[in-house]
Homo-oligomer: A and B are copies of this chain.
Amino acid sequence: MGVKLGEAALSDENQHVVLRGRPDPAVRADLFEPVDAEMPRVADGQFLIRVIWLSLEPAMRGWIADAPNYSEPVPIGAPMTGFTVGEVVESRHPGYPVGTIVQGRQGWRRFAVSDGSDIDRVVDPALAPISTALHVLGVNGATAYVGLVDVCAVKAGETVVVTTAAGSVGCMVGQIAKALGARAVGVTGGPDKVKACLEEFGFDAAIDYKAAEDIGPALDRAVPDGVDCFFDSVGAAQFDAVLERINVGARIAICGTIGMPSFPLPIGPRPNRQLLVKRARMEGFLILDHYDRYGAIVEKLTGWYRAGQIRYREDVAVGLDNAADALIRLLSGQNAGKALVRVGADP
């Protein structure tokens, strides 16, 4: 990547970023505090990971909220959780020799010890840049795959609409849809993201939700034959507009609700009658439930990548000290590409 790292980022000292409070409801940078940490000792059956890349996710707002969710909230005072790519720099585990590149869940830490239980996969640096293991060839790509292939069961010739289309999941929904012979329409915010959807990610059409109060007319032009598959990560007015245009037998994959406040529970048009009239299905899914198939899905994604069918953008912050600010930019949609933090130098 040619990124120049500052002194701190190159330091061999350990550092964690710990959670100090809960969103109320905004996520502020001072909820996160970088702290010095002991270098962990490696016991038998363990290995030490030097984290190189940290992935930031819109879902992190939910991970730190003290509200019902699909996992326990990150405890106050604990290091923030997150997906990482790192290098094994010390090992007493035969399966992870020194030099192995691993994608795991080491969180916002510079160094972490592991027994393998929080490792998602070993990364082959010969196949693609290792950071892709955190997005197009990682959890974002797999999320797009599960939502579009498993939940929506997309078929060639169908029309797919995806919100947050220029995002790290959304751009993969579009590219997988195209790879499978479907028509891909993206909804995204601002002319730069529309351009990225059309020129980089190969969408057939892209709609700027910031350009009009109501995206309905633009949608009508983009999906004249209606919507067969809808991959949604927003859940607000954009959702309503697409729902109005679904076809009989449509499938809606609920991947996120970034457009819905955490509290109070937002109200909107009830979808029941439209789901009934269209005999349509709306289903929430979590990639965590599909980890048993993660390897097979990544293999499929890697095949498309190597065939030149997958492009991506990264938005890189340098150093754990800057992770909180980068997360807030992500949550407000100011990132341009997959939000990553470079925690350490390449191997």
Taking beta carbons and an 8 Å cutoff, which residues of A are in contact with B? Answer: 68-70, 232, 235-236, 239, 254-257, 260, 265-286, 289
Contacts and interface: CB of A to CB of B under 8 A. Distances in A.
Given A281-B282, A281-B283, A282-B283, A270 B265 contact: yes
What's the number of copies of this chain in the assembled complex?
2
A278 B284 contact: yes
Contact of A267 (B265, B270, B283): B270
13 contacts: A68-B277, A69-B277, A70-B277, A232-B272, A235-B270, A254-B272, A254-B275, A257-B276, A268-B270, A271-B282, A279-B286, A282-B283, A283-B283
Given A70-B276, A256-B276, 11 more contacts: A68-B277, A70-B277, A235-B272, A239-B270, A254-B276, A257-B270, A257-B272, A266-B270, A272-B284, A276-B285, A279-B284
A275 B265 CA distance: 13
Nearest to A235: B272
A276 B282 CA distance: 10
A283 B280 contact: yes
A232 to B, nearest CB: 7
A61 to B, nearest CB: 12
A147 to B, nearest CB: 11
Nearest to A59: B276
Given A283-B280, A284-B277, A269 B266 contact: yes
A276 B268 CA distance: 17
A271 B269 contact: no
A25 to B, nearest CB: 13
A286 B269 CA distance: 21
Contacts of A273: 235, 257, 260, 265
Contacts of A68: 277
Contacts of A232: 272
Contacts of A70: 276-277, 279
Given A257-B273, A268-B270, A273-B260, A289 B281 contact: no
Contacts of A284: 272, 274-281
A283 B272 contact: no
A269 B279 contact: no
